[in-house]
């Protein structure tokens, strides 16, 4: 016969309210009593029926749809969303996709049907695609967008906006402050607004410091290590005209820049300063450590999930929130040689 | 009024079978015809009802439960499972947890109830915990285990086993072949069988090559960068008795070893050879590149998901599968100085 909470209480010699407090980790029960309860739980092989808490019927999971090749970003996003799910009693369905796929809208709708999620957290470029957003809204599924910008673009749904432009301005200004006048910019994928925002910050800082902008020094590409290697190789191959600093649009690109500089025998930072964007584990673990902008991805994700769950629960309008990445100065950037 | 597949066919001037082929990506329709169909789909704002394909009722998602702090491992596992989910029409629920938590069994059962998954993919140490497995089996939920070993340990459920011992043997033998006689071993978390298996491989290689095993050279710890830094710092602080090679139980630890060696001014690989285990992105991107064992995590995960979906679909016994990590020799290991 299956053990009940009363059996556990009897064996442990405590009230069943105490057993419940211990099992639910309420932290109001002394250590010795906790031990007694857990011993009884184990001895009786007791399994509380947590699913009877009343979630049946209502959606008890949310979804995270993304198109991003950057593992660190994805794992940090997941971590933040999962933290909030755990705190609020939700499960998480993850769905990576190719936002350029022509069946993307059907795919998102099918994901909603299969997984029965109550709502979605969306990141760029999905969160910046009006067709996908319209299709989800039409299905009456709530969503929260993470996006690049200095404010919420509209009232369609709550969002968490990240001020990439000002952070990129701060990085560029830091390099200028070190005496760099020839700073190359390695962009990210164009369908991500962050790439354009960061470029805008770079340009604004050059302008404010009266440094001539050169279109040749802005090299488009994608947010990947390989793209960083490739573009840095090109830059360093042009004899006698190396930039003294490279601002890579994220840390993955910067890792590629560091790698290509090593291969080319260019000393970082003595001959070439490098800055990334993201504060990834690589930026902290590489030698030299990378100057970067700390984008608190997990916290951003946790806030997005929190806004989503709030709007699922009370149905009222939920306010958007903003984040401002912070300049982190490390060893990869130093004074320009003259 | 909502557009139907017939409306699309009419506007595109093709049969509705052709529209269906294009939308389902069957690849048997010429480029020009495809363009016409997509144009009509867009113009009519047509949305095929993929969810009507008959999945209603049956579980259309699986779960992945894990307790692992290694982001690369987690993301690679997810990638492999997601590839199989996409191919088979399933969604994925992810659930990280702390396997040492005393409410872990209730947590897993609650996750099953909330998410309504049809089955689970489990990785170490969850997949190696008999109490958790028994509780899941009791709920009549199918599961596939990924675990460390040279064969399937039992008939409880299909598993994907990874022969860590032989791979660790190959790494150690490679270092011995380079003339190293003093090789330190930095272990992983003890609750992971992989840590014990890799240590056993290290010991066996030393023994077969008549190199005396020294318990002092085996330093326990966890599968993390910080643990690698800390233990390497200890090793290199003991004056005059540095090992000439370090075998780190995974690439995260090896990254820490490389970092600590740099701080201590020890030249890698001239004065210290380093080998890791995993073939992580860091192992390929670091300078010098890390010698390691390639554990095809994504493929392992994809196979585990495939076995799970197979057993969900036909209910028959599904055979286990084995993987054998491969030695990858890179720049971080070289001949011992004498």
Question: What residue ranges do the domains of chain B occupy?
Answer: 1-48, 56-162+297-325, 164-295
Predicted confidence (pLDDT) at residue B255 exceeds the cutoff of 90: yes
Distance from CA of B242 to the nearest CA of A (A): 22
Question: Do B23 and A110 count as a contact with CB atoms less than 8 A apart?
Answer: no
Task: Please count the other Cβ atoms lying within 10 Å of the Cβ belonging to residue B11.
Answer: 18
Question: Do A115 and B91 count as a contact with CB atoms less than 8 A apart?
Answer: yes
Question: Do B115 and A60 count as a contact with CB atoms less than 8 A apart?
Answer: yes
In this prediction, residue A8 has a pLDDT band, given cuts at 50, 70 and 90, of confident
In angstroms, what CA-CA distances link B299 with B80, B112, B146, B306, B322? 6, 25, 12, 10, 11
pLDDT at B315: 72
pLDDT 10s digits, B75-100 = 999 999 999 999 999 999 999 999 99
- Name which residue leads in pLDDT, A306 or B58: A306
Predicted confidence (pLDDT) at residue B117 exceeds the cutoff of 70: yes
CA B38 – CA A103 distance, rounded (Å): 10
Predicted confidence (pLDDT) at residue A214 exceeds the cutoff of 90: yes
% of chain B residues with pLDDT over 70: 94
In this prediction, residue A337 has a pLDDT band, given cuts at 50, 70 and 90, of confident
Sequence-distant (≥ 6) Cβ neighbours of residue B210 within 8 angstroms: none
CATH-assigned architecture of domain A56-162+297-325? 3-Layer(aba) Sandwich (3.40)
Task: Please count the other Cβ atoms lying within 10 Å of the Cβ belonging to residue B287.
Answer: 16
Q: With an 8 Å Cβ cutoff, is A71 touching chain B?
A: yes
Pair of tokens at residue B313: 């679909």
Rounded to an integer, the average pLDDT of B137-154 is 91
Rounded to an integer, the average pLDDT of B101-117 is 92
Interface of B with A in 35-54 (CB under 8 A): 38, 47-48, 50-51
Predicted confidence (pLDDT) at residue B55 exceeds the cutoff of 60: no
pLDDT 10s digits, A119-170 = 999 999 999 999 999 999 888 899 999 999 999 999 889 999 999 999 999 9
In this prediction, residue B49 has a pLDDT band, given cuts at 50, 70 and 90, of low
Sequence-distant (≥ 6) Cβ neighbours of residue B199 within 8 angstroms: B168, B185, B187, B218, B249
Q: Do the first three CATH levels of B56-162+297-325 and B164-295 match, i.e. the same topology?
A: yes
Q: With an 8 Å Cβ cutoff, is B71 touching chain A?
A: yes
pLDDT at B314: 78
pLDDT at A338: 67
> Which of A51, A90, A287 minimises the CB distance to B259?
A287
pLDDT 10s digits, B125-141 = 999 999 999 999 888 89
pLDDT at B53: 39
pLDDT at B2: 72
Rounded to an integer, the average pLDDT of B313-327 is 90
- Among the residue ranges A72-81, B300-309, B311-320, the one predicted with the least confidence is B311-320
DSSP 3-state percent helix, strand, coil across chain A (nearest 5):
45, 15, 40
pLDDT at A49: 57
Rounded to an integer, the average pLDDT of A297-314 is 94
Q: Domain A1-48: which CATH class? A: mainly alpha
Question: Which residue of chain A is at minimal alpha-carbon distance from B254?
Answer: A285
Predicted confidence (pLDDT) at residue A307 exceeds the cutoff of 60: yes
In angstroms, what CA-CA distances link B168 with A297, A306, B162, B203? 36, 44, 12, 9
CA A39 – CA B158 distance, rounded (Å): 32
Question: Which residue of chain B is at minimal alpha-carbon distance from A60?
Answer: B114
pLDDT at B24: 66
Predicted confidence (pLDDT) at residue A52 exceeds the cutoff of 90: no
Question: Which residue of chain A is at minimal alpha-carbon distance from B46?
Answer: A106
State CA B262 to chain mean position distance: 29
Q: With an 8 Å Cβ cutoff, is A87 touching chain B?
A: no
Q: Are B103 and B131 in contact (CB under 8 A)?
A: no
Q: With an 8 Å Cβ cutoff, is B170 touching chain A?
A: no
pLDDT at A32: 84
Q: With an 8 Å Cβ cutoff, is B109 touching chain A?
A: yes
Predicted confidence (pLDDT) at residue B333 exceeds the cutoff of 60: yes
Interface of A with B in 219-258 (CB under 8 A): 225, 255, 258
pLDDT 10s digits, A83-117 = 999 999 999 999 999 999 989 999 999 999 889 89
Interface of B with A in 259-298 (CB under 8 A): 259, 262, 281-282, 285-287
CATH 3.40.50.720 for domain A164-295: no
Predicted confidence (pLDDT) at residue A291 exceeds the cutoff of 80: yes
pTM over 0.90: no
Question: Which residue of chain B is at minimal alpha-carbon distance from A257?
Answer: B285
Q: What ipTM was estimated for this complex? A: 0.75
């Amino acid at each position: 016969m299956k053990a009940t909470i009363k059996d556990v209480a009897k064996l442990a010699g405590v009230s069943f309210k105490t057993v419940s407090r211990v099992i639910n980790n309420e932290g109001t029960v002394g250590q010795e009593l906790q031990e007694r309860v857990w011993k009884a739980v184990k001895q009786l092989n007791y399994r509380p029926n947590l699913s009877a808490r009343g979630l049946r019927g209502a959606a008890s999971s949310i979804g995270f749809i993304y198109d991003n090749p950057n593992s660190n970003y994805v794992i940090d996003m997941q971590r933040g969303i999962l933290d909030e799910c755990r705190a609020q009693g939700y499960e998480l369905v993850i769905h990576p996709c190719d936002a350029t796929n022509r069946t993307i809208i059907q795919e998102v709708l099918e994901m909603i049907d299969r997984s029965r999620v109550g709502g979605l957290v969306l990141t760029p470029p999905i969160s910046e695609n009006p067709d996908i957003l319209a299709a989800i809204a039409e299905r009456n599924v709530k969503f929260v967008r993470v996006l690049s910008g200095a404010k919420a673009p509209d009232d369609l749904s709550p969002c968490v906006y990240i001020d990439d432009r000002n952070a990129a301005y701060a990085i560029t200004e830091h390099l200028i402050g070190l005496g760099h006048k020839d700073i190359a910019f390695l962009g990210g994928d164009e369908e991500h607004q962050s790439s354009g925002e960061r470029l805008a910050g770079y340009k604004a800082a050059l302008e404010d410091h009266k440094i001539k902008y050169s279109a040749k020094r802005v090299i488009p590409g994608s947010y990947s290590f390989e793209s960083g290697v490739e573009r840095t190789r090109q830059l360093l191959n042009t004899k006698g005209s190396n930039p003294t600093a490279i601002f890579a649009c994220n840390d993955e690109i910067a890792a590629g820049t560091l790698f290509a500089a090593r291969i080319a025998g260019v000393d970082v930072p003595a001959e070439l300063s490098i800055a990334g964007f993201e504060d990834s584990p690589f930026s902290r673990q590489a030698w030299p450590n990378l100057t970067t902008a700390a984008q608190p991805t997990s916290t951003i994700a946790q806030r997005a999930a929190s806004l989503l769950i709030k709007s699922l629960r009370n149905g009222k309008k939920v306010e958007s929130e903003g984040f401002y990445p912070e300049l982190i100065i490390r060893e990869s950037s130093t004074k320009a040689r003259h």
